[in-house]
């Protein structure tokens, strides 16, 4: 089967970085048409820089990286340096990128790419706030029908929230954008905190990255070493949750995941529960399903896949 064409929309972030590395290490399954940076974990200038640092770490400098929206549609930007550090990629010492940003705006790249390919052949993979994606849909509504699928990391049901008691970070930062995406009619695969909080980098799993004894293996181990301090303190968990790589793993090995086809709506009005993903997990309404909401991951299978693929870089 031909590799699946994707655009990675991202706010790196250590876990975004690992998601990008996994995609670039898997050319048989995934063809990365481009990477679009958005403001999220850190401001846009840093996410656009970090995306290029990661491409260079992988030795894939041919992948175009575009800078996109520097703030949410109608709210001030909220960032997460308390999790990811000042640079967003704290942990390893990596050189500043030499590859330039691609010319043009990320939103236009998303629009042009969807128009240039056969309808139903390009998948969008958002790993951060949904500002770039929603902006593209607002600017060029004709592209909505051309999207094959959206596979995103965001939201929560059983785990509820990580940035507020009610909301997950990516959805909370730009709830209006998320609302546009979930109402778009496009099939959305949602990988929520319920799943990513099971994808924990335990010591044993991190040792396996380090044991690759490559530039990439050491960088990933150092990223998760940094990232885990926050989660161990907050949740008492065994290590850092690798949220965003679950998206790329889903594209490669969907059988590692299972979920329910349900209705998901986004809270955009209440300040108390802003950005909550109201997921009808128990199917208590007759609202039509608009999303495959993932509930379980085979974590051992996921880490085996990740380690095997990172070894290729
Ligand atoms: C999400 O928020 C970010 O901090 C991570 O990169 C991930 O995309 C988890 O809530
Ligand atoms: Ca992210």
Interval between CA 37 and ligand 2 midpoint (Å): 10
Question: Which pLDDT score, from 0 to 100, does residue 1 have?
Answer: 86
The mean pLDDT of 69-90, rounded to a whole number, is 96
Average pLDDT, the chain: 97
Confidence of residue 233 (pLDDT cuts 50, 70, 90): confident
* Integer Cα distance of 131 and 209 in angstroms: 32
Does the pLDDT at position 236 exceed 80? Answer: no
Is ligand 1 within 6 A of the CB of residue 153? Answer: yes
Question: Which pLDDT score, from 0 to 100, does residue 163 have?
Answer: 97
**Structural domains in the chain plus CATH codes:** 4-310 (3.90.245.10)
Q: What is the largest CA-CA distance in the chain?
A: 53
Nearest ligand 1 atom to alpha carbon 163 = 10
Is ligand 1 within 6 A of the CB of residue 231? Answer: no
| Non-local CB neighbours of 253 within 8 Å, separated by 6+ positions | 301, 302, 305
Is ligand 1 within 6 A of the CB of residue 244? Answer: yes
Interval between CA 260 and ligand 2 midpoint (Å): 23
* Integer Cα distance of 280 and 300 in angstroms: 28
Is ligand 1 within 6 A of the CB of residue 88? Answer: no
Question: Which pLDDT score, from 0 to 100, does residue 238 have?
Answer: 78
Ligand sitting nearest the alpha carbon of 171: 1
The protein residues having their C-beta less than 5 angstroms from ligand 2 (an ion) are: 11, 13, 16, 127-128, 244
The mean pLDDT of 73-101, rounded to a whole number, is 97
pLDDT tens column, 259-308: 999 999 999 999 999 999 999 999 999 999 999 999 999 999 999 999 99
Does the pLDDT at position 211 exceed 90? Answer: yes
Q: What is the pTM of this model?
A: 0.98
Interval between CA 127 and ligand 2 midpoint (Å): 4
Nearest ligand 1 atom to alpha carbon 16 = 6
8 Å CB contact between 27 and 46: no
* Integer Cα distance of 81 and 41 in angstroms: 7
Is ligand 1 within 6 A of the CB of residue 9? Answer: no
Confidence of residue 240 (pLDDT cuts 50, 70, 90): confident
* Integer Cα distance of 252 and 250 in angstroms: 5
The mean pLDDT of 63-91, rounded to a whole number, is 97
In percent, the amount of the chain with pLDDT more than 90 equals 94
Does the pLDDT at position 191 exceed 80? Answer: yes
Question: Which pLDDT score, from 0 to 100, does residue 168 have?
Answer: 98
Confidence of residue 232 (pLDDT cuts 50, 70, 90): confident
Interval between CA 128 and ligand 1 midpoint (Å): 6
Interval between CA 93 and ligand 2 midpoint (Å): 20
Name the active-site residue from 105, 117, 243, 261: 243
Is ligand 1 within 6 A of the CB of residue 197? Answer: no
In percent, the amount of the chain with pLDDT more than 70 equals 99
8 Å CB contact between 102 and 66: yes
Nearest ligand 1 atom to alpha carbon 11 = 6
* Integer Cα distance of 126 and 309 in angstroms: 21
Is residue 218 annotated as part of the catalytic site, yes or no?
no
Is ligand 1 within 6 A of the CB of residue 13? Answer: yes
Question: Which pLDDT score, from 0 to 100, does residue 174 have?
Answer: 98
């Amino acid at each position: 089967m031909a590799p699946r064409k994707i655009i990675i929309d991202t706010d790196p972030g250590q876990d975004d970085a690992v998601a990008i590395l996994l995609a670039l290490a898997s050319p048989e399954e995934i063809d990365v048409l481009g990477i679009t940076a958005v403001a999220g974990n850190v401001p846009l200038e840093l996410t656009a820089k970090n995306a290029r640092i990661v491409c260079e770490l992988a030795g894939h400098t041919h992948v175009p990286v575009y800078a996109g929206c520097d703030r949410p549609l109608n709210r001030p930007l909220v960032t997460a340096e308390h999790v990811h550090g000042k640079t967003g990629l704290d942990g390893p010492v990596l050189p500043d990128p030499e590859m330039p940003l691609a010319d043009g705006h990320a939103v236009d790249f998303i629009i042009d790419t969807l128009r240039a390919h056969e309808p139903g052949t390009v998948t969008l993979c958002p790993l951060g706030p949904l500002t770039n994606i929603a902006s593209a849909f607002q600017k060029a509504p004709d592209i909505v029908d051309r999207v094959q699928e959206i596979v995103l990391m965001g939201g929560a049901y059983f785990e509820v929230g990580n940035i507020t008691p009610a909301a997950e970070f990516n959805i909370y930062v730009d709830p209006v954008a998320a609302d546009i995406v979930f109402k778009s009619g496009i099939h959305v695969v949602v990988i929520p905190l319920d799943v990513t909080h099971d994808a924990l980098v335990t010591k044993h799993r991190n040792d396996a990255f380090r044991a690759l004894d490559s530039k990439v293996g050491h960088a990933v181990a150092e990223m998760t070493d940094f990232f885990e301090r926050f989660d161990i303190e907050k949740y008492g968990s065994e290590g850092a949750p690798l949220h965003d790589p679950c998206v790329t793993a889903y594209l490669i090995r969907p059988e590692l995941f299972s979920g329910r086809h349900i209705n998901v709506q986004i809270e955009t009005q209440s300040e108390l529960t802003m950005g909550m993903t109201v997921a009808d997990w128990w199917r208590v309404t007759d609202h039509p399903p608009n999303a495959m909401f993932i509930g379980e991951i085979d974590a051992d299978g996921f880490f085996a896949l990740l380690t095997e693929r990172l070894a290729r870089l």
